[in-house]
Chains A and B, each alone.
Chain A
Amino acid sequence: MFVVVVGCGRVGAQVARRLVDDGHDVNVIDRNAEALQRLGGDFPGEFVQGPALETTVLEAAGVERADAFVAATNGDNTNLVIAQVARDRYQVDCVIVRVLDPARAALYEQKGLVTVCPTRTAIDSMSDALRVFAASGAEGA
């Protein structure tokens, strides 16, 4: 499949690399030219530099023919807007959006977006780890 990944930070770059390792075609968008370095020198896809809110940038990365779209910039609102643009304007079948704020993640999940919320994952993992410790009866020993 062909995937457009927006945001080439720690998350976006690694998602792009993994998809390439799995044999998929991937193009990446980031506002900063230096972000390209995170992909490594042998990255086979295209890197488009520019603000993802601009349709010319999205189109340069091939959003019109994308099977999947990943919105992983460090701005929740940017991610939520471009994800809806990818889905509603370019009819991308699979749109996955990173949202750090659990409240907004839940709201837009109800509106049919596939949201990934690292904050919620961290809250769950941490409280689960603490519950395991509490259940072991080791506290206050």
Chain B
Amino acid sequence: MYAVIVGGGKVGANVGRALLRMGHEVSIVEARPSRFATLEAEFEHMARYGDGTEVFVLESAGMARADVCIAVTGDDEDNIIIGQVARDHFGVENVVARVNDPRNQEHFDLLGVAPTVCATESILSLIEHEVPQHSLVHLFSLRRENLDIMEIGVVGESRADGLAVGDLPMPAGTLLISVLRRRVGRVATPDTVLEAGDQVVVIAEPGQESALMEIFARE
């Protein structure tokens, strides 16, 4: 696989290293001269100097034959344009983009640049997972596929408390995939009986949160 990484900061460089270890071919495009010098010392000809939002720079980096474009600069407007140009002009099938400011996520979604990765959102999800403030926590979103993976705490006296998984009135478009009890996760079977304090992991189409809360979280 050939990956063109635009943005050679910590994220871009480490993604590049990981892909190389996996045996893939990589180019890293970097616009800052001093950062480029550092990258070139490590990545040699795989490091390319230039503004990765310029069409000719992407062209010389071989974007036209790239299997994946990874837009991970520190500027969201640049990552959006890189993603659009890679997809629409160079015909790259897979685009992965970094969201620096979570407030810009809606622009990536609107303009069709997906999937995206946002460090702030990931950290917040982890905090919620470790120290839940709410009984429903979004663990992971597959935006393009229109699926959310979430974790829900089973509240005592809720409808789910004491019911077997197979007897749960799960809404359409949702699937309970595992039960975490005392920090041990198990893939759910229909005869697993839920108890208060369990965490269930559910994969669902968006918009099912309140229906799920009705089952697991309301007394």
- By a beta-carbon cutoff of 8 Å, the part of chain A in contact with chain B is 53-55, 75-78, 80-81, 84-85, 88-89, 101, 103-104, 107, 111
Contact = CB atoms under 8 A, between A and B. Distances in A.
The secondary structure that dominates the B interface is helix
The secondary structure that dominates the A interface is helix
B52 to A, nearest CB: 11
B37 interface: no
A76, A77, A89, A111 — most chain B CB neighbours (10 Å): A77
7 contacts: A77-B75, A77-B78, A78-B77, A80-B77, A103-B55, A103-B56, A104-B81
Nearest to A76: B53
Nearest to A75: B77
A78 B104 CA distance: 12
B53 A104 contact: yes
A104 B55 CA distance: 7
B103 interface: yes
A81 B77 contact: yes
B143 to A, nearest CB: 17
Interface string B50-67: 000111100000000000
Contacts of A88: 110-111
A103 B81 contact: no
A84 B54 contact: no
Nearest to A111: B88
Contacts of B155: none
A81 B88 contact: no
A77 B80 contact: yes
Nearest to A103: B55
Contact of A80 (B81, B101, B106, B110): B81
A53 B111 CA distance: 13
